[in-house]
Amino acid sequence: MDVPLAHLDRPFDYLVPAELAEAAAPGTRVKVRFAGQLVDGWLLERADDSGHTGKLAYLEKVVSPEPVLAPEVARLARAVADRYAGNLADVLRLAVPPRHARVEKEPHEPGEPPAPLNPPAADGWRAYPAGPAFLRALTEGRPVRAVWSALPGEDWPARYAEAVAATVAGGRGAVVVVPDARDLDRLDAALTAALGAGRHVVLAAAAGPARRYRAFLAARRGDVPVVVGTRAAMFAPVARLGLVAVVDDGDDLHAEPRAPYPHAREVLLTRAQLADAAALVGGYARSAEAQLLVETGWAREVVADRATVRARTPAVAPTGDDPQLARDPGAATARLPSLAWSAARDAVRADAPVLVQVPRRGYLPSVSCAECRTPARCPHCAGPLALPSAEGMPACRWCGRVAAAYACPECGGRRLRAAVTGARRTAEELGRAFPGVPVRTSGREEVLTTVPGGAGLVVATPGAEPVAEGGYGAVLLLDSWALLTRADLRAGEEALRRWLAAAALARPAAAGGRVVVVADGALAPVQALLRWDAAWFAARELAERRELGFPPAVRMASVTGPADAVADLLAEARLPGEAELLGPVPADGDRERMLVRVPRARAAALAGALHSAAGVRAARKAADPVRLQVDPLSLF
C-alpha cells in the first residue's frame, strides 16, 4: 500500500472479487480500503489462499489493467528499501512514474521486430587493452563488471553506445543512467547512430508527464530493449536485462533527494547482482566507491596503458609550485597568474578557443567590507550578501532583501570588495583583457552545448563546459581553493572530478593543448591531474578512508531531527554490537544529527535496526519526524 509509515511496510492480503478477477493482474495499480480510508496500492502477487487467519477485505478497484510494476522491478525495489532503511512504497514511487491515463489508452500495436543487430566494431575500445574483450563478453551475454577510466578527449557517448549495441546484438537489454540532460542528449544521439531508430527510449523527469509515461510503457511492454535517462531511469523495466551502466558516478546528481535517498550507482549495481547482468561504471574520474569495486574483485578495471595516456593528455601545469613562484612571485595570490594568462593568450593567437572553469556562478556571490575585510551579512537574516551585477545593489542570497544602505558592523565602512568572484564577473574581466575576442558564459542561466573552434573565451561553471570543435587550445582552472577547502569528505575527489571533466576537452599536448590549474602542484588532486591518474587518487582516497573509518570502507547512517526525537529513535533501535555513535552535531535549524558507523558486513543489520525503530515510532504516532539516510553523500 502507498502508505509512508514504517510499521506498515509489508504486504497485505485482500480478496479479489469475481468482477475484477481478470483485470487484477500482478503489477497493476489498485485501490483498497484500509483503516476506513481508500488508499492506493500495488498488486504484487495472486495466490490461491492466504496465511491470514482473520477476515479479509475485498479489493475496491483496479485503477488500470496495465501491469506497470514488473516482477524484477518489485524485487529490486524491496532490496533498495532494505538497503536504505526505507519503505517499499517510497521506492515504488520512484520506480514507476505517475499514471497518465490518456497515454495509457493510446492504441498499442506491437510493430515488427527490428532486424538483428550486428556486434559493433571495437575500434573505439582498442585504446584500452581489456576493451575488446569487454565488448565480446557483452555480446555473449556474460555478466562482466567493469570500471572504465576514459582517456582525455574520449567520445564517451560513442563508447557507451557501443557497449549497449554489443549487449543488444547478444539479444539482451540495457539501462544507462547519466547525470544531467546535456549528457543525456549526447548519449541519445550516439545510441541513435549505433542502434538505429526504434531500439531505445529516453526516460527523464524533465521530459514531462506524457512523454515520460509513454517511454516507460514502451519499455515495460517490451517494445524497446534499451532505456537511457537521468536517475529517473535507474528502475526502468527492461526485459532480459543484460547491462546496467552509469556515467560519471561521482556526480552528486545521481543521488536521489527523496526518501529513502538511493544513489543511482548503488541501485544499478544491486540490479546487476539480482539479474546476473553486466555492469559498467565509467568516466574521466573514479570515485572511491568505484575503486572499492575494483579492489574487492567485484569489477575489473578497463584502463589505457601509460604510453597511450601520455599521447592523449594535454600539457598540464600548476601555478603554485617552486619554479612558477620563482618566475612569478605573485602567482601565489593572483587569481590569474602569468602562466594562465600566457596560455590563454597563446591559444587565442593560434585561433583556438579557451575554456575558463570557475567554481561559482553569478557576478560576485560573496562580498566583504573593503576596509576591514569582514564578510558582509544581511542585517535581517544574517545571510551572505552578493552583488548581482556591476551596477546592482547588494542583496541577500537567503532572503532576497536589498541592503542598499549597508554599513559594516565592525568598522562602519560602506564600500564593498569581492570575496568570491563568479562566472559573469570573470567573463567581464576577461573581455576587457582580450578586446575583440568573443566571450561566452555557460552556466545555470544558459548552458552551451558546443562552441565554434575559432578563437574565443568560454567561462563556464563545473558541469556546464561546452564541447569545442577540435578541442580547446587552453583550459584554465581558476579558484581551486573554493573546491579544495570545502568542509566535505569528498572535497578532493570532487575537485579532481571537475578538473578532469574540463581538462578532457583540451587538445592533446602534441596539438598544442594546455591546461593550467591555479593550485599548488604538491596537492594530491593536482598530482593526479598532472599525471592523469584518477585510479591512483581513488586508491589513495580509499586507503585514507579505511584508516579513518569513513565510507565506503564502512557503512554509515545519519539520523537527523530534533534532539529528543533522534535520541528516542536510537534508544529504540537494536543496533549491531559493532555500531559506533558519532555526534551529535548541529544540523539545519534547531535539529541535530547523529552518525552511526558499522563495518560493511553489518550493513544489513544496521538498516534493519533503524527501519524497525522508525516503525515503532510510527506506530506510537511520534510527532517529530526523523530523517534516516544510509551512506549520505555529505557527513558534515
Distance CA 394, CA 414 (A): 11
| pLDDT (average), residues 592-606 | 96
Residue scoring higher pLDDT (320 or 597): 597
Q: In this model, does residue 421 exceed pLDDT 80?
A: no
- Which pLDDT does position 328 carry in this prediction? 59
Cell of 17: 472479487
What does the DSSP 8-state code read for residue 26? T
| pLDDT (average), residues 104-132 | 88
Domain boundaries defined on the chain: 1-67, 123-308, 312-539, 553-630
pLDDT tens string 537-578: 999 999 999 999 999 999 999 999 999 999 999 999 999 999
Q: Return the CATH fold of 1-67.
A: GIY-YIG endonuclease (3.40.1440)
SS3 of 270-339: HHHHHHCCEEEEEECCCCHHHHHHHHCCCCEEECCCHHHHHHHCCEEEECCCHHHHHHCHHHHCCCCCHH
Confidence band, pLDDT 50/70/90 cuts, at residue 484: confident
Q: In this model, does residue 110 exceed pLDDT 80?
A: no
Percentage of the chain lying above the pLDDT 70 cut: 97
pLDDT tens string 265-294: 999 999 999 999 999 999 999 999 999 999
∠ CA 440-445-450, rounded to 5°:
45
Return the exposure string of 69-88: e unless at least 16 CB atoms fall within 10 Å of the residue's CB, then b.
bbebbbebbbbbbbbbbbbb
Q: In this model, does residue 329 exceed pLDDT 60?
A: no
For the chain, the average pLDDT equals 91
Name the pTM for this structure: 0.90
What does the DSSP 8-state code read for residue 109? -
- Tell me how crowded residue 586 is: count the other CB atoms within 10 A of its CB: 10
- Which pLDDT does position 321 carry in this prediction? 61
- Which pLDDT does position 116 carry in this prediction? 84
Q: In this model, does residue 332 exceed pLDDT 70?
A: no
Confidence band, pLDDT 50/70/90 cuts, at residue 406: confident
- Which pLDDT does position 526 carry in this prediction? 96
Q: In this model, does residue 343 exceed pLDDT 90?
A: yes
Lowest mean pLDDT among 219-228, 392-401, 623-632: 392-401
- Which pLDDT does position 127 carry in this prediction? 96
pLDDT tens string 26-75: 999 999 999 889 999 999 999 988 888 888 999 999 999 999 999 999 99
Q: In this model, does residue 124 exceed pLDDT 60?
A: yes
What region does 594 belong to: left with phi over 0, alpha with psi -120 to 50, or beta? beta
- Which pLDDT does position 495 carry in this prediction? 95
Q: Which amino acid does the sequence have at 443?
A: G
Backbone angles phi, psi at 176, to 5 degrees: -125, 130
| pLDDT (average), residues 480-509 | 91
- Which pLDDT does position 367 carry in this prediction? 80
CATH class of 123-308: alpha beta
- Which pLDDT does position 560 carry in this prediction? 95
Distance CA 520, CA 318 (A): 6
Q: In this model, does residue 326 exceed pLDDT 80?
A: no
- How many residues in total does the chain contain? 636
Q: In this model, does residue 334 exceed pLDDT 60?
A: no
Confidence band, pLDDT 50/70/90 cuts, at residue 330: low
Q: Which amino acid does the sequence have at 34?
A: F
Q: Return the CATH fold of 553-630.
A: Alpha-Beta Plaits (3.30.70)
Confidence band, pLDDT 50/70/90 cuts, at residue 335: low
Distance CA 630, CA 555 (A): 8
Closest CA to 596 of 584, 612, 613: 584
pLDDT tens string 229-277: 999 899 999 999 999 999 999 999 999 999 999 999 999 999 999 999 9
Return the exposure string of 528-551: e unless at least 16 CB atoms fall within 10 Å of the residue's CB, then b.
bbbebbbbebbbbbbeebeeeebb
- Which pLDDT does position 195 carry in this prediction? 94
Q: How many helices and strands (H and E) does the chain possess?
A: 19, 26
| pLDDT (average), residues 214-220 | 95
